[in-house]
Amino acid sequence: MSQKQLESLIETKKAKLAIIGLGYVGLPVAAMFAEKGFDVLGMEIREDRVHTINSGKSPIEGDEPGLEELLKKVVGGKKLHATSNYEDLRNRDIILIDVETPVDETHTPRYAALKSACNSLSTVLKPGALVIIESTIAPGTMKGTVLPLLEKNGLKSGRDFLLGNCPERVMPGKLLANLRQMSRVCGGDSPDTSAIMMALYRNIVEADLDAADWATAELVKTVENAYRDVQIAFANEVALICEQAGADVMKVRELVNKSPFRQMHIPGAGVGGHCIPKDPWLLAYGVAGSEVPLRLIPAARAINDQMPHHMVRLLEKALAGQSKKLNECKVLVLGYAYLENSDDTRNSPSAALIGGLDALGAEVVIHDPYVNEYKGDVFEKAAGCDAVVAMVRHDEYVKINLDRLKSTLKTPVLIDGRRVFDAKSARQSGFDYWSVGLGR
């Protein structure tokens, strides 16, 4: 198949697509291309997930506007089908890879899923096909890892198949909206490949599509999340200063941002999710062993990683004011997902908080309306607790009746890591209220 033939197949929507990995990125991508009329095959190694998707249901819980309805529509219309068999990919013209790319405790990329996908795909890859890596990867991964694996069975990039990198830009709770409205970088093995990628993505992306090479695409995604991490770390450090100075960081932020070209981020109880805690390390890994001195990125990571432990310290101070010790107390943690109104628990700051509380001997009760194992009545879970620690700004918590919450507690201590509650209202309800960035 020639490039012109592939371009024609995309234009007429006769190109057969495959999406490897049907998680937070791959599933909505597959559904959106299917909605536009493409024949889409989803490749997923988890059989339970395959069954759920083929029944027209979304395995992604939480508030994900439009996804369940879209999935039901495209599965029912026979435009999207899921499989766990790589042999089914032999006739696919375009393959998108959307698998996890985590880092380990030494901040080293662990590409087990990516390597497995590339290895398996190399055995069934159709000559002339276009392969696009949407997973976030460290600079140099396309050339050093992906390319050799896809070429291991004799096909050559640029001659026998096309290879591109188009990093995803999505956030749980906004998956479909982000895919439509966020710009994308189409990094190809040649300008022609980038052009074909842009023609493909124009079917689902309403924002800018920019052509680039592999290295630029890899860098753009890792840099943008490292930037956010650094900015959040700055906000968190300012919050700690405000606590000591007796000021409210949210008021400071409001007034700072009135000055032109200032946009201070929002501080909080920690940074979670699959991307921000990981992508700065992917960026750093891209220059590992070089002469580039990395200072800011590791420092930002350290600041953000310690915020859940700062929440533990705030709780200890509040309980001391009530003449109580943490190892004698029962603590309710509100929220286990990393993001409001989501079931995504990857790199959850709550997990770090709970680990700290466990280590100090506290009894911990967890509530989260979106995480199956922690669902339940929040007031029943609060009964007899000595303190509440709010870690996630779920809508359910914003609307909570503070008077009723206080009445169920043994001790009215409320530690707020996300400004879920208004300080004045909480104190009027009788709480000893503490929050990140709020001076006493």
What's the half-sphere exposure (Cβ side, CA atoms, 13 Å) at 194? 17
Exposed (0-12), middle (13-18) or buried (19+): which is 4, by Cβ within 10 Å? exposed
Residue-wise DSSP of 279-348: HHHHHHHTTTTSS----HHHHHHHHHHTHHHHHHHHHHHHHHHTT--GGG-EEEEE--SSSTTB---TT-
Coil/strand/helix, residue 366: strand
What phi and psi, each to the nearest 5 degrees, are found at residue 129? Answer: -75, 160
Q: Which helix (H) or strand (E) holds 185?
A: strand 184-188
Give the Cα separation of 55 and 264 in Å (integer).
45
According to DSSP, residue 89 is labeled G
The two structure tokens encoding residue 404: 């009723």
Q: Which of 107, 139, 159, 232 is nearest to 1 (CA)?
A: 159
Q: Tell which residue, 162, 98, 89, 163, has the closest CA to residue 124.
A: 89
Query: Which string of DSSP letters, residue by residue, matches 370-404?
Result: TSGGG-S-HHHHHTT-SEEEE----HHHHT--HHH
* Burial class of residue 166, CB neighbours in 10 A (0-12, 13-18, 19+): buried
Catalytic residues: 221, 275
- Give the pair of three-digit tokens for residue 316: 């200890």
Tokens representing 317 are 């101070």
Cα radius of gyration rounded to whole Å, the chain = 24
Write the DSSP assignment of 195-264 as a string of letters. HHHHHHHTTT--S-EEEEEHHHHHHHHHHHHHHHHHHHHHHHHHHHHHHHHT-BHHHHHHHHTTSTT---
Q: Give the Cβ contact number of residue 344 at 10 Å.
A: 22
Number of H helices, E strands in the chain: 19, 13
CA distance 253 to 404: 32
* Structure tokens belonging to residue 294: 């990395």
